[in-house]
Structures are given as C-alpha cells and as structure tokens.
Amino acid sequence: MKTVLFLGFDNKLGLTYHFVDWATTLAEVANGALRIVFVTLKKQQNQGLHDRLAHVPSIDVITINSAEELDTLDFLGDVDVVHCHGFRQAARMLKLRRARKQNFKTAITMHAFRHGSWLRPLYANLVTFLYANSIDAINFLSHTSKDEFTKYNLFYKKSNRSFVFPLGCNTDEFLRDEPLDSLPFYDDLCQGGKNIIYLAEFSPRKQHIWLLKTLKSVLIGEGATLWLFGGGPEREKVIRYVGDNGLTDHVKLPGRVHRQFVPTILKHMSVAVCASKSETFGHVIMEPMFAGVPVVTLNIGAASYLIRDFSNGFVVKNRAEPDNFRRAVEFLLHNKNAAAAMGKNNQQVANQWLTWQAASRNAVNMYQSMS
C-alpha cells in the first residue's frame, strides 16, 4: 500500500475550506487503497475547519505551526508520494529528499504562478530551472494554464510528466438555500429581475473597468444590475468610475460577503461573467455553474474546457472583443428560456467534472501512476 503525504495548507491562510473538502473526498475515494497522511498548519482560514478535519476517517492528520517544521518530519523514508501545493512546498521537499537521500516521489498542483503579471515568464523560467524539472508529476488545473506556464519557458522539458485536471467544489453548499434577509442588500437583490454577477477581487488582472465599459449600455438599456462582490486595491477606482459614469443605480458593490451566502446569492442571478485577464483555473466560472447560472467569460483558465457557446454560456477570445462579450450578455437577458436551459446544462457539466469526488479520483490515479 502506498503512503501519500498531502501538504494541505496555504502558506498565508493555513488550513482552508478547499483543503478540508479535498481531504474528506480523498479519504472516501482512496477507500483504504492508500495511506494518506495529511499535514496542515494550526492556523485556519475560518474557525471550525480543524474540527471538520478531525472527523475525516481513514487519514492521519499532523498539525504543525509553520512550513519550516516540515524539516522535522522523521517518517519520510516510509512515504511514497508527497503532494505539494506551490513551489515553496515543493522546494522544501526536494531539498529534504536530496539531503536525506530518500526516494519519495513529488507531485505539485499548480494553483497560481504570477498570472497577469509581466513577471510571469521570468518566474516560470526561474522555478522550472530550480524545481519543476525535478518534480515527478505536475498537475495543471487547465490546458490554458499549462500553455501559459510553458510559453517562453526555456527550461521546461517536454518529457516532464504532467496531468491536467481541475479542482473541485463542495456540492452540498448548492443543495441548500441560506436565508439572505439579514444581508443589507437583500431587498435590492430580490427586486432586480436582471442580475449579473462577477465574483472577483478588485485587482488590475480582474479588469473590472473594462467590464464596466463593455456592459455600460446593457446595464442602462436593459435596466440590469451588475453585482461586484469582494474587496481589493482597485475597489475605490471602480467606485469612482461607477459614480462618474452614471452607473450608481446599476452597479452594486456590497463588499465581502461570508462564504456561506455565495451559493444562494448566485441563484438570484441571471448571468455570471468573468472578465479576468488570466486564471490558473477559474472558480469564478465554476461556482455559477453549480448554481445553474449561464456564464459569459473571456477565454481564460478552464473556460474553453467547460463552456460551449449556446450550450451553457459563451466564451469570448479576449478583451479585444468587447462587442461579442456585450452581445452574449444581451442574448441571455433577452432569452430567458435559453438562459434557463444553459443554466441546467451547466449544473450537469459541473456535477460530472467539477466535484471534489472527481478531483480526488484524478489525484488517486495520479498517485498510483507514480512508481
């Protein structure tokens, strides 16, 4: 039986929701065929996550104070595969493997690598030269992400073993309706018949201003409302643009909202949009799919893998085609029956390909392929 050491933490947030969900389904899918040792930080994204993790059967959980404590693990000689999340983790485990002359294999899931930044090619070349070519399996979350990482990459070896499969989503969140009447924007949410949502932090890479320019005529002409949740460095700039361009009645910026409300908020939406310049995968696309909302997106992350025109949404090549983006949103607002059918198709696609069960099956098969 193989032993898998799963490093389930974010260096900044610690134990996160998605690592708990992944651990839960990984234990179910492995079903005793693998021994899973789950290492995480005492720090947690939200209270209660460690309690949830403690109730996951069939995995051994080790809690540490910092990533530096990985150096003290004394059982690595018994480990067959180490699953890393990010190059900092991978660098540390590769260093330990060399120093201790051990034979465990390393796998890495590529969550992010300077997307949208001019530094991306430099970063990709650097981490490839230092680490990637020594890693035994690379999990890219989309083909687009792999293409972006390998483009202009002088050191990436085509012989490197890589797999493309996405992360998952906690489907239980979308099966229940969370009461929203305690939220200050509840009345506006219920009154709007044509609601459009963009779930993204306010950063230059997310291109909120481009989106507002593109949809301005739609928002005013259709009497539609664009909901922009979250915070970030560009939020004040967006607020000023909204005020200066007569969009105050058509754009709502409620700020950050607790995770528990997001699935139910999505169910009040007519269309979900994604205007991001670049994404490793694109949760902003995935979550509306589970809520049964059609998606209009630029061709980033897993967009072209998940979305088909007139089937479950529309994919527009890039920001050079604002008219096509606008027309796609207009179509969905004008054709409610078609939009509803596309939303149902989205749910079917999401429940087939984007569950944590699917992600865990792929991960288990990846581990088993590493010998």
The separation between CA 105 and the C-alpha centre of its own chain, rounded to angstroms, equals 25
Domain of 133? 2-168+355-369
pLDDT of residue 192: 72
pLDDT band for position 116 (cuts 50, 70, 90):
low
pLDDT of residue 120: 85
Alpha carbons 370 and 161: distance in angstroms, whole number? 10
**162 & 195 share domain:** no
Task: Please provide residue 38's backbone torsions phi and psi, each rounded to the nearest 5 degrees.
Answer: -105, 115
Scan for tokens 């389930």, then name that residue.
Answer: 8
**211 & 265 share domain:** yes
Average pLDDT score over residue span 186-202: 92
Please check the confidence at residue 117 and state whether its pLDDT lies above 80: no
Return the number of other C-beta atoms located less than 10 Å from residue 265's C-beta: 22
Task: Please provide residue 356's backbone torsions phi and psi, each rounded to the nearest 5 degrees.
Answer: -65, -25
**DSSP E strands: which ranges in the chain?**
2-7, 34-41, 59-64, 81-85, 105-110, 137-140, 162-164, 195-199, 225-229, 251-255, 271-274, 295-298, 313-316
Handedness of CA 242, 248, 251, 256 (dihedral sign): positive
Look over the chain and give the mean of its residue pLDDT values, rounded to a whole number.
95
For helices 322-334 and 208-222, angle between their N-to-C axes, nearest 10 degrees:
40
Do residues 327 and 303 make contact, with C-beta atoms less than 8 angstroms apart? no
Assign residue 224 the CATH number of its domain.
3.40.50.2000
pLDDT band for position 18 (cuts 50, 70, 90):
very high
pLDDT band for position 193 (cuts 50, 70, 90):
confident
Please check the confidence at residue 272 and state whether its pLDDT lies above 80: yes
Enter the tokens of residue 126.
């650097």
**226 & 322 share domain:** yes
Alpha carbons 296 and 325: distance in angstroms, whole number? 7
**77 & 179 share domain:** no
Which of 38-42, 113-117, 119-123 bottoms out in mean pLDDT, i.e. has the lowest?
Answer: 113-117
Please check the confidence at residue 201 and state whether its pLDDT lies above 70: yes
pLDDT of residue 115: 59
**118 & 175 share domain:** no
Helix (H, G, I), strand (E, B) or coil at 271: strand
Alpha carbons 198 and 182: distance in angstroms, whole number? 22
**86 & 186 share domain:** no
Which of 74-78, 110-114, 261-265 bottoms out in mean pLDDT, i.e. has the lowest?
Answer: 110-114
pLDDT of residue 118: 75
From residue 53, how far is each of 1, 57, 62, 175 by CA, in Å? 23, 9, 11, 22
From residue 169, how far is each of 71, 93, 133, 281, 338 by CA, in Å? 32, 28, 30, 12, 25
Higher pLDDT, 30 or 259: 30
Taking only the tens place, the pLDDT of each residue in 129-170 is 999 999 999 999 999 999 989 999 999 999 999 999 999 998
**48 & 9 share domain:** yes
pLDDT band for position 113 (cuts 50, 70, 90):
confident
**317 & 328 share domain:** yes
Residues, the chain: 371
Domain count, the chain: 2
Do residues 327 and 315 make contact, with C-beta atoms less than 8 angstroms apart? no
pLDDT of residue 90: 97
Return the number of other C-beta atoms located less than 10 Å from residue 359's C-beta: 25
pLDDT of residue 114: 63
Enter the tokens of residue 197.
């949502």
Taking only the tens place, the pLDDT of each residue in 345-368 is 999 999 999 999 999 999 999 999
**65 & 132 share domain:** yes
**35 & 85 share domain:** yes
DSSP string, 12-80: TTBB-HHHHHHHHHHHHHHTTSEEEEEEEES-BSSTTHHHHHHT-TTEEEEEESSGGGGGG-S-GGG-S
pLDDT of residue 174: 93
Do residues 152 and 121 make contact, with C-beta atoms less than 8 angstroms apart? yes
Please check the confidence at residue 256 and state whether its pLDDT lies above 70: yes
